[in-house]
Structure 1
Amino acid sequence: MKHVSCFSFVVISLFGSHAFSILTDGNVKNSTDLDFGSLDTKHVDVFRQLLNQETLIRMTLVKNVHALMKDMVSLQQSLVSSESEISSLKETTTREISELKKEVRSLKLENNRLSNKVTKCNENIESLTENLTVVDASRRVFETQLLKEKQVFEQNTSGILADIKTEVRYLSITLLDLHKHSLEIDKNIPELIDNRYKLISGRLNDSLEAYNTELRSANDKLSVSTKVAFTAGITSQDTSWSGSTLVFPKIIFNTGGGYNPTTGMFTAPVDGHYVFFVCVQSYNTNEIWVDIVLNGESQVRTMAHDKHDKDYFETGVNLVVLRLNQGDKVWVKRSRGTGYYSDSVPITTFSGFLL
């Protein structure tokens, strides 16, 4: 651009200096350089007028050239300013494109991370479902075996009782025979037989009571072990809950009476191995961490937290198998975070049952 401007200036200068000197045959002359001696007197005035007009034309051309040069300088400055602005705009655009590329890469990484997280959650849910299926199958097998053992025990007990009754009848007959014979014997012999009868009767009564006690204990254990289970939930949401014990007031199932919907605690009615499961739903972008607690000591923990989208909910679940003695207490405690989400059909729930 600078070379073009200089070339234009030279051309215009040369053009202004020579091209318009037509009246002087291409030579740059003024009125003082002309030889008036060679001209006729009648033509002098005409030449002078022509020379004056040429001078005026040349002055006008010079002014136009200066104005054109100013315009060219102004145009050159405008071009320089425009080039600077274009350069700055290119740098800004390049920097913004680079930042956008970084953000795109970051979003891709975050999308991959979330995809992996969802995949892991699905795998955990599938594994948990499989574990629950195995546990349920084991429970059914155990109930079947226990029922068979109960039936065998009842059959054996019935057989034993029948044998005992038969022996008692035989003993009664024997005692009657002895009583008859005792009438024929000395008075001391009936008293001895009576004592013997009392001893045998006492032993038989003790045996019967022991069998009855064992049978009642087995029946009690069988009825209790197969009827301890509960599921409770929450039917409303709380965006700012920050308490300690998470209470599930809605009882869906509670056989055995172990769960208290007022305190949120489960109290073991008998000794045994128990399975507990908790599901907690976060509220929007809040985070919530909860523990399954045994007698005040945390056993397992789960959490739910979504920091990307206020209309997206995340679920935290966990399961634990515990050995409980009668009277042990289990409940759900907040570890950190606030709030939870649920609905009229409970989403946030707490369950447990005896194996």
Structure 2
Amino acid sequence: MMKSPLTLLALVVCLAESQTIAVSEIDDTNITDFTDNVDRQRGMDSVVLRQLLNQETLIRMSLVKNVHAMMKDMVSFKDMALSLQNEMADLKQTITDEMTKRVKDARVLKREIQKLKEMDRKLEERLVDQNQTDSSLREELEKTKSDQKGFEITVLANQEQLDRNVSERLSDINVHVRILSMSLIELQRHAQQIEKTVPELIEEKFQVVSQMMSNVSTSLLEDSNGTLSEIKADLSDTQQIQLKLSSAVLSLEWFRNNISSGGSDSKKGIGFTAGTVSDNRYWNSGKLVFSSVLYNEGNGYNPLTGVFTSPTQGFFVFYVTINAYGSTTVYVDIVQNSVSKVRALAYGSTSHQTGTNMVVLNLRDGDKVWVQFHSGQGYHTNSIPITTFTGFMI
């Protein structure tokens, strides 16, 4: 192992000091020999010292070089350490941010899970309520079906009883009508006999009067003329009574025929009148629904849709009245099966102008008629309807 230059230098100094001490202890007789020996020794020591100094210089230079290299390595290491420290700080910050984000995400997920649990609980509660509601509805439906069956049985029983009563009543009416017809026929026969007898009586009385006129004075002639006028008036009254009796017989015969065929003609009882009871200033499309029904014989008009459906074939009259809202103008059509037939105009020259129109239509069974918007805007009415729609069979 190589000793350091400082150690070698210390050894040389110690050697020199020991030699000096040794010289002081030598007597004078040996000084010369000793001096020579010392000079030789010093020469050898100087050579050794120079060699040591050269080695020390080389070692120092090598140490300086190594120290410089080590300093460079230390600087590089320091830079690398700083870089690693920065990277560690960045990595730590990134990890911290990521952890913060993960914590926030975990909190959000936790809240979402809590919300989902709450929603699940509410859904379960709603499902329980729905099941209870379904059970209640099933019970009500079963009860309704049971009530409906009972109602149907009651209706059938009432219908049968009504049919029996109607049949009995119609039989009684037929009997009374036959009796009345026979009575009227007898009255007609009696009237015919009277009609045959009256001219003969008139002729006889006329002859008597003529004979009397030829035999009596002018006063008697005037009395005879009065009597003749009374007889003619009686004849006219008799003829009127005969006509009335004939008309009554015909009416009773027509009534008897209708009773025998099952009742009166239902076609004559079809008609409706409906109106609106609330304003609509913005109405500008579709059907005009007249929701307030005043009359609906035959139930042909539907107040929910505003449409009349003909229950039979025949001729019908339809009439519409439209009242404009304020000073606006509005056109409406009476429509048969999506085809406009007539149009009513309420022109807004002044406030609340009224438009009307009427049409006669030949409808088939199932044909539909309604009031349709054409142009303009809005209509006016009141609690007692002003805007109305009417139809009836003729």
**TM-score if structure 2 supplies the norm length?**
0.37
Which of 1 and 2 has greater Rg? Answer: 2
Higher relative contact order (CA 8 A, sep 6+): 1
Higher percent of residues as helix: 2
